[in-house]
Amino acid sequence: MTDIVGKRYWFFALSALVILVGLIGMIISASRFGSPLRLSIDFTGGALMELTFEQPVTPEKIRQIFGDRGYGDTTVQTTSDERTVVIRSKELQEGEKAIIQAELTNEFGPLTELRFEQMGPTIGREVTRSATIAISAAALVIMGFIIFAWRKVPHAFRYGVCASAATLHDVLVTMGAFSILGLLFGWEADALFLTAILTITGYSVQDTIVVFDRIRENIPKRRGEPYELIVNRSILETVHRSLATQLNAIFILVAILFFGGSTIRQFVATLLIGLVSGTYSSIFTAVPLLVIWEKGELGGFFRRLFGRSRAAP
Amino acid sequence: MQQRDVTLLMVIVVLTSLAAWVVWPGNSGLHIHFGPINVDRDIQVHRGLDLQGGMQVVLEADVPDGQQVDAAAILAAKVIVENRVNGLGVTEPLVQLASSNRIVVELPGIKDPEQAIRTLRQTGLLEFVDAGGTFLPAGTIVKTSFQEGGEFGIETPTLAPTATNTPLATATLTPTATLVLTPTEPISPTTTIETEPTPAPTPRTRVFRTVITGKHLEVAQVGQDEYGRPQINFQLTEEGGEIFAAYTSANVGSYLAIAMDGEVISCPRIETPITERAGRITGDFTLEDARNIVIQLRYGALPVPLKIVQNRTVGPTLGQDSITKSTRAGIIGVVIVLLFMLVYYRLHGLVADAALIVYALVSFALFKLIPVTLTLPGVAGFLFSVGAAVDANILIFERMKEELRQGKRFSSAIQAGFRRAWTSIRDSNLSTLIICAILYWFGSNFGATIVKGFAVTLFLGVLVSMFTAITVTRTLIRLLYAIGGENARDSKWLIGL
């Protein structure tokens, strides 16, 4: 039988690598923008305007118009073509929007406002705070739920913790990837990003639970077998289902990614990354963690790690 | 067992047909008039702002940092904002309190967002207007002397020159004072107030005389008259009392319209002169009406100033574009899933596909009936839950395959498969439901209907998927094998072993 659990350290290494790359991205982001991810106005406050003109426009000129009215820190990006721009600026005072749009019309001709969003600064702070609460609450509730549902299994606490660790892994991977995409393509985290993260959390746990459920069932059935074996068997028994489900979800999300509207493209892409990570972590992170906990390898692992570096001259 | 399955199948078919009818775009709506049940509803998709175009603003009480906002004050502000929103002529506006100091306003399909914002934030003007012999029903728009030129008080020269700061009162001795007690109007000698159905003239061109404004109102509260019916007690300021005394003495029997921002909210008739600054309004209104009127009397202006802390406007073109694209994407995605299931699970895949179609129809029908406001992420959530619905079926089939490989008979394989898979399905979906609840809480605190929409559609989708997995899939499989019998076992390929 294929030994997944035996090769667990390889899988840990892979996870560590991916997360590390993401962490580097987040650190670069933090030094450049002051936070590990680019934040949209949902979190920072400010104004966002998406306009489409009838002829191509120059972002420089638009920036200048904003600057002349006192909104210096403005970014202008063209999106799908040269005629549509997304403008991010500080909060616009009352009446300013009309004046600026009039000037833009003077300069470039008629425009259509596709969307406009404006957030005061206090709301931004509150959203950040609520976001943190939401994520922490989700993590705690789910951990408690798993511990409760697995209470008949010895060491139920471990299942809760390992499932949460796998979920944390997914969140880190997704955040890291998003941070890199933010550096490369200017993606910004908004309320939808938070929604995606929470959904990924839910999905990751869902996936982990299916494997854990199988373990829960196999333990009384196969007494006498070493834990490692039971667990490995459980993984193999559920792998078909994991792959099939993931493929289906990927089909749908990819379809939306390619054929759906541009406004949720980032949202769907984030979900995709988290989805793949979620399935990976259920098999290659959560379960191996259970094993090393059971075998008490954790202490030994760290001892070896630090012992080796101490031994080096 | 077979009989029960057939019955269940009938139920499922009926349910699906009903759902399909609800989902059909051109359906006629729900019109039931049967005994005590009176239902008249159009069944349509309720589109969120990002699909329809429109504006959402969050207004916050503009008080110094740290100062608590009085709960009654913000509630009164909400009522006032709601009235103004209703006056904008938007279909299905939404005004809600979000947390203790914020009001969320949604205006789908609004043509002029800037104008709407100005209207919402304007301070309210309360006036007591001389309507003469004309009863003005609530909702009538009136032009008043105060609006036109800041003039109020009475214009007859018999006005005692007490009001030192109403110099305008004397200036109104112009012959253009169009407010006239039309002598031809019969003043019926009844003593009830406000319930008289005398036809209102067109007040549009008339400029009514403002007697006093909200500034002159000191106290207003709800009370009870001698019959126990609701009444409104009020008390005026000194200046207001004097003007009012003079006015009511000269105008017993006339109507006095109370207007807010130019719209009549109530039109009582003057029974007796009110000389002690205190009076009451009695009439045929409910306690609720009385309370609403008192709120508007007390808070003629907004009780707290409101500032805009959040503004989201989506133009209609973007909305339409999103709908088209996401529908197309959804169909493509779902078709791929259907095909995949067919190829990978063959016969079982066919069953899963049928169950999926039922699931999609029932879910969407629920969205239309409840109704759930669909936003773009909400549509994504719905599609995502289709993926979850598939998952339940997959869990069941994998279980069944295992049982069959061990050589069990079909009936026991089916039973065991469902029983063992159910714990997985239940526990894994429960965690998603918990997340949805948390997302919903997060969304409602900030009027982020985007997040809320996603949470609701995912939540409903997961629930319905659990239902269809257990009922539809199981019934179909049982029937299938009852018909096909053990013969199907020989065709290993067909059942995907």
Domains in chain B, number: 3
What is the residue type of B144?
T
pTM for this model (two decimals): 0.72
Record the tokens describing residue B254, joined without a space: 């006339």
What is the residue type of B14?
V
- The CATH number for A67's domain is 3.30.70.3400
| Residues B131 and B180: beta-carbon distance below 8 Å | no
Mean pLDDT check: name the lowest of A20-34, B89-103, B296-310. Answer: B296-310
Name every chain A residue with its beta carbon within 8 A of the beta carbon of B329: 255-256, 258-260
Position A229 in a domain: yes
> Quick check: helix, strand or coil at residue B52?
helix
Give the pairing type, strands B94-98 and B102-108. Answer: antiparallel
User: Of the candidates B278, B273, B190, which has an alpha carbon nearest to the alpha carbon of residue B231?
Assistant: B278
- The pLDDT value given to residue A239: 86
Position A156 in a domain: yes
Please indicate, yes or no, whether residues A238 and A292 belong to a single structural domain of this protein: yes
Please indicate, yes or no, whether residues A180 and A224 belong to a single structural domain of this protein: yes
Record the tokens describing residue B54, joined without a space: 């429109």
Helix (H) or strand (E) holding B132: strand B126-132
- The pLDDT value given to residue B295: 67
| Residues A246 and A273: beta-carbon distance below 8 Å | no
Please indicate, yes or no, whether residues B291 and B340 belong to a single structural domain of this protein: no
Mean pLDDT check: name the lowest of B112-116, B220-224, B338-342. Answer: B112-116
Record the tokens describing residue A74, joined without a space: 């403005």
Nearest C-alpha of chain A: how many angstroms from B224?
Answer: 44
Please indicate, yes or no, whether residues A145 and A285 belong to a single structural domain of this protein: yes
Q: Nearest 5°: CA angle at B460, between B454 and B461?
A: 85
Helix (H) or strand (E) holding A47: strand A46-53
Whose tokens are 């094993």? That residue is A291
What is the residue type of B453?
G
Nearest C-alpha of chain B: how many angstroms from A193?
Answer: 10
Range of the domain at A168: 5-38+123-308
Name every chain B residue with its beta carbon within 8 A of the beta carbon of A117: 310-313
HSE (CB half, 13 Å, CA atoms) of B361?
A: 19
- Tell me how far CA of residue A159 lies from CA of A148, A213, A231, B158, in angstroms: 10, 10, 12, 90
Please indicate, yes or no, whether residues A210 and A281 belong to a single structural domain of this protein: yes
pLDDT at A304 exceeding the cut of 60: yes
Nearest-angstrom CA–CA distance, A174 and A185: 16
Position A290 in a domain: yes
Nearest-angstrom CA–CA distance, B189 and B201: 20
B180-222, pLDDT tens digit by residue? 222 222 233 333 333 334 444 454 567 888 888 777 777 778 8
Helices (H), B24-70: 49-52
Please indicate, yes or no, whether residues B267 and B199 belong to a single structural domain of this protein: yes
Nearest-angstrom CA–CA distance, B464 and B435: 17
Name every chain B residue with its beta carbon within 8 A of the beta carbon of A258: 329
Please indicate, yes or no, whether residues B443 and B337 belong to a single structural domain of this protein: yes
Q: Which of B382, B427, B457, B458 to mutate to test the interface with A (most CBs of A within 10 A)?
A: B427
The torsion defined by the Cα of B41, B47, B53 and B55, in degrees rounded to 10, comes to 80
- The pLDDT value given to residue B300: 54
Give the pairing type, strands B207-213 and B143-144. Answer: parallel
User: Of the candidates B48, B49, B58, B52, which has an alpha carbon nearest to the alpha carbon of residue B311?
Assistant: B58
Please indicate, yes or no, whether residues A108 and A131 belong to a single structural domain of this protein: no
Nearest-angstrom CA–CA distance, B264 and B257: 6
Domains in chain A, number: 2
pLDDT at B3 exceeding the cut of 60: yes
- Which B residues, 245 through 304, put their C-beta within 8 Å of a C-beta on chain A? none
Nearest-angstrom CA–CA distance, B57 and B115: 13
Range of the domain at B238: 126-298
CB of A254 within 8 Å of a chain B CB? The answer is yes
- The pLDDT value given to residue B186: 29
Nearest C-alpha of chain A: how many angstroms from B113?
Answer: 10
Close Cβ partners of B475 (under 8 Å, ≥ 6 residues apart): B5, B8, B9, B12
* Total length of chain A: 313
Please indicate, yes or no, whether residues A248 and A282 belong to a single structural domain of this protein: yes
* Total length of chain B: 497
Position A296 in a domain: yes
pLDDT at B125 exceeding the cut of 60: yes
- The CATH number for A141's domain is 1.20.1640.10
Of A115, A192, A209, the CB nearest to B427: A209
Of A134, A201, A248, the CB nearest to B390: A248
Give the orientation angle of helix A191-221 with respect to helix B376-405, to 10 degrees.
10
Question: 10 Å Cβ neighbour count for B41?
Answer: 11
pLDDT at A260 exceeding the cut of 50: yes
CB contact under 8 Å between B312 and A116, yes or no, is: yes
CB of A258 within 8 Å of a chain B CB? The answer is yes
Of B381, B391, B420, the CB nearest to A245: B391
- The pLDDT value given to residue A178: 92
Of A118, A205, A261, the CB nearest to B321: A261
Please indicate, yes or no, whether residues A206 and A303 belong to a single structural domain of this protein: yes
What is the residue type of B489?
R
Q: Which percentage of chain A shows pLDDT scores above 90?
A: 9
Position A163 in a domain: yes
Name every chain B residue with its beta carbon within 8 A of the beta carbon of A96: none
CB of B121 within 8 Å of a chain A CB? The answer is no
A203-235, pLDDT tens digit by residue? 888 888 888 888 888 888 888 888 888 888 888
B467-493, pLDDT tens digit by residue? 888 888 888 888 877 777 666 556 666
Please indicate, yes or no, whether residues A227 and A88 belong to a single structural domain of this protein: no
Position B495 in a domain: no
CB contact under 8 Å between A142 and B334, yes or no, is: no
| Residues A187 and A178: beta-carbon distance below 8 Å | yes
Closest alpha carbon within chain A to B307:
A120
B144 phi/psi in degrees, rounded to 5 = -125, 160
Of B317, B387, B432, the CB nearest to A252: B387
Q: What is the mean pLDDT of residues A114-141?
A: 81
- Which B residues, 449 through 488, put their C-beta within 8 Å of a C-beta on chain A? 450-451, 454-455, 458
Record the tokens describing residue B75, joined without a space: 């509630």
Q: What is the mean pLDDT of residues A13-29?
A: 89
CB contact under 8 Å between B336 and A252, yes or no, is: yes
Position A189 in a domain: yes
- The pLDDT value given to residue B165: 34
- Is the C-alpha dihedral spanning B395, B397, B402, B408 positive or negative? positive
CB of A239 within 8 Å of a chain B CB? The answer is no
Nearest-angstrom CA–CA distance, B496 and B488: 11
Question: 10 Å Cβ neighbour count for A81?
Answer: 9
Nearest-angstrom CA–CA distance, A182 and A103: 31
Confidence of residue A276 (pLDDT cuts 50, 70, 90): very high
CB of A92 within 8 Å of a chain B CB? The answer is no
| Residues B269 and B194: beta-carbon distance below 8 Å | yes
- Which A residues, 59 through 88, put their C-beta within 8 Å of a C-beta on chain B? none
- The pLDDT value given to residue B489: 59
Nearest C-alpha of chain A: how many angstroms from B253?
Answer: 47
B49 phi/psi in degrees, rounded to 5 = -60, -35
A130-174, pLDDT tens digit by residue? 777 888 888 888 888 888 888 887 788 888 888 888 988 999 999
Position B496 in a domain: no
Record the tokens describing residue B18, joined without a space: 């009903």
**What residues does B132 pair with on adjacent strands?**
B255
Please indicate, yes or no, whether residues B259 and B365 belong to a single structural domain of this protein: no
Name every chain A residue with its beta carbon within 8 A of the beta carbon of B420: 217
| Residues B374 and B457: beta-carbon distance below 8 Å | yes
